[in-house]
């Protein structure tokens, strides 16, 4: 007799279990905590010379005849660039993006621009490393992003092991962090290779529509952006698949899409919960000024909540692996039926 699959935990139950995992393994906060401390108290990697040249080029282009751009808009762009020159820290590339990067409070654009990314609590001037050329800035960005993916591999591996230890899920779990790093790099490269041609095609279509009507171009652009977000929404479980089941990148992408499609309402609830908890508490964590030592409270709180939400994502994934297996079995069964029908049709002919 086949055993009935257990009812998976609800989203709130996954959050509670994630909190308990971090309470039992407090070292899970170490990587996001150390990254934020480095971005807060470490040297600043400045690209001010690159931004100065960019400011001059943009000013020349925007003020040329026939652009139709208002003076107030030009001033806003120049003010934004001026703030970036004084405050931007290229070390934020250590967090390449959500899920694929270590959660970080100090890499937040809101904190960098509104609070002043160059502010820090020590009495002497903050040391700076200045990058003078755009090519060097690109090289730094790529290298830091790759290093950041390595940090994320260490972080995700630790979370994955803690989740399996606490909840005794019947999977092998993560292997070495270098192998996890390689799989995450493979996923990011696959995504880049997919998005570059798609972005080129989308840009061409929007430009073509702009020749017909500006309104049509705007509608098409919004439609394409919505489609991009819909696609990225289906990649939520790629990293858990790479880490916990040791899947290759393409297989992890396929399984993430299947799992999301088969459980879409719960996935939407999970995303809303993560956004409400993280963004709501980030408002509190950002209240202290970066020039005050009270910022340490926000950094510690953010590291704890981020580890909890990451554990919640992994637990939600494990709880619904049974559904994924069921979907895959149904797909294989359907494919087999199609082959059998095709073989019978060929025999009859």
Longest C-alpha distance within the chain, in Å? 88
13 belongs to a structural domain: no
The number of folded domains in the chain is 1
107 belongs to a structural domain: yes
**Max mean pLDDT range (13-17, 46-50, 225-229):** 13-17
- Contact call for residues 209 and 220 (beta carbons, < 8 A): yes
340 belongs to a structural domain: no
Hey, how many other C-beta atoms are within 10 angstroms of the C-beta on 167? 16
Distance set, CA 3 to CA 48, 167, 322, 343 (Å): 63, 20, 12, 34
Q: What is the mean pLDDT of residues 47-69?
A: 71
Distance set, CA 74 to CA 69, 112, 121 (Å): 7, 21, 34
Contacts of 208 (CB under 8 A, 6+ apart): none
109 belongs to a structural domain: yes
Q: What is the mean pLDDT of residues 68-84?
A: 66
pLDDT: which is higher, 320 or 156: 156
- Domain with 138, as residue range(s), is 23-47+88-118+126-333
Distance set, CA 121 to CA 46, 126, 295, 306 (Å): 19, 10, 9, 24
- Given a cut of 80, whether residue 69 has pLDDT beyond it is no
pLDDT per residue over 268-327, tens digit each?
Answer: 999 999 999 998 998 889 888 888 889 999 999 999 999 999 999 999 999 888 777 777
CA pair distance 306, 62, nearest whole angstrom: 41
Q: Percentage of residues in the chain with pLDDT exceeding 70? A: 84
- Given a cut of 80, whether residue 2 has pLDDT beyond it is no
pLDDT at 275: 92
Tokens of 290: 């970066």
Q: Percentage of residues in the chain with pLDDT exceeding 90? A: 40
pLDDT at 283: 87
- Place 32 in a pLDDT band, splitting at 50, 70 and 90: very high
Hey, how many other C-beta atoms are within 10 angstroms of the C-beta on 245? 19
Q: What is the mean pLDDT of residues 226-244?
A: 91
- Place 48 in a pLDDT band, splitting at 50, 70 and 90: confident
pLDDT at 288: 84
- Given a cut of 90, whether residue 125 has pLDDT beyond it is no
pLDDT at 256: 92
- Place 3 in a pLDDT band, splitting at 50, 70 and 90: very low
pLDDT at 349: 47
Distance set, CA 143 to CA 29, 38, 136, 148 (Å): 24, 17, 10, 9
Tell me which residue of 271, 272, 282 sits closest to 305, measured CA to CA: 282
At 228, is the secondary structure helix, strand, or coil? helix
245 belongs to a structural domain: yes
57 belongs to a structural domain: no
pLDDT at 108: 76
Q: What is the mean pLDDT of residues 213-223?
A: 84
State the Cα angle at 324 between 198 and 173, rounded to 5°: 95
- Contact call for residues 51 and 81 (beta carbons, < 8 A): yes
Query: What is the value of pTM for the model shown?
Result: 0.84
Contacts of 50 (CB under 8 A, 6+ apart): 131, 132, 133, 134, 137
338 belongs to a structural domain: no
58 belongs to a structural domain: no
Mean pLDDT score of the chain: 84
Half-sphere exposure of 197 (CA within 13 A, CB side): 3
pLDDT at 22: 96
CA pair distance 200, 11, nearest whole angstrom: 38
Q: What is the mean pLDDT of residues 26-45?
A: 93
pLDDT at 321: 83
CA pair distance 308, 301, nearest whole angstrom: 11
CA pair distance 250, 178, nearest whole angstrom: 19
């Amino acid at each position: 007799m086949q055993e009935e699959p257990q009812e998976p935990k609800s989203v709130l139950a996954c959050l509670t279990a994630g909190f308990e995992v971090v309470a039992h393994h407090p070292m899970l906060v170490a990587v996001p905590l150390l990254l934020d401390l480095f971005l807060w108290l470490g040297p600043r990697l400045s690209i001010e010379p690159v931004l100065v040249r960019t400011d001059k080029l943009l000013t020349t282009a925007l003020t040329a005849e026939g652009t139709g751009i208002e003076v107030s808009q030009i001033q806003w762009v120049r003010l934004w660039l001026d703030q970036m020159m004084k405050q931007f820290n290229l070390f934020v590339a250590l967090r390449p993006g959500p899920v694929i990067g270590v959660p970080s409070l100090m890499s937040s654009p809101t904190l960098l621009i509104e609070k002043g990314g160059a502010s820090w609590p020590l009495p002497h001037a903050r040391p700076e490393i200045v990058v003078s050329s755009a090519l060097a800035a690109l090289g730094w960005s790529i290298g830091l992003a790759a290093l950041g993916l390595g940090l994320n591999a260490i972080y995700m591996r630790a979370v994955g092991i803690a989740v399996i230890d606490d909840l005794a899920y019947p999977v092998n779990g993560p292997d070495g962090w270098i192998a996890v790093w390689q799989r995450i790099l493979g996923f990011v490269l696959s995504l880049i290779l997919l998005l570059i041609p798609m972005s080129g095609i989308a840009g061409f279509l929007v430009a073509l529509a702009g020749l017909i009507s500006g309104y049509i171009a705007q509608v098409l652009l919004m439609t394409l952006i919505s489609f991009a977000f819909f696609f990225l929404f289906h990649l939520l479980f790629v990293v858990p698949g790479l880490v916990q089941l040791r899947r290759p990148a393409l297989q992890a992408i396929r399984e993430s899409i299947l799992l999301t499609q088969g459980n879409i309402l719960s996935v939407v609830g999970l995303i809303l919960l993560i956004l409400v908890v993280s963004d709501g508490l980030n408002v509190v964590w950002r209240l202290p000024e970066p020039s005050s030592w009270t910022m340490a409270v926000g950094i510690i709180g953010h590291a704890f909540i981020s580890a909890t939400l990451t554990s919640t994502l992994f637990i939600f994934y494990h709880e619904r692996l049974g559904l994924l297996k069921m979907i895959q079995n149904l797909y294989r069964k359907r494919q087999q039926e199609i082959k059998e029908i095709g073989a019978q049709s060929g025999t009859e002919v």
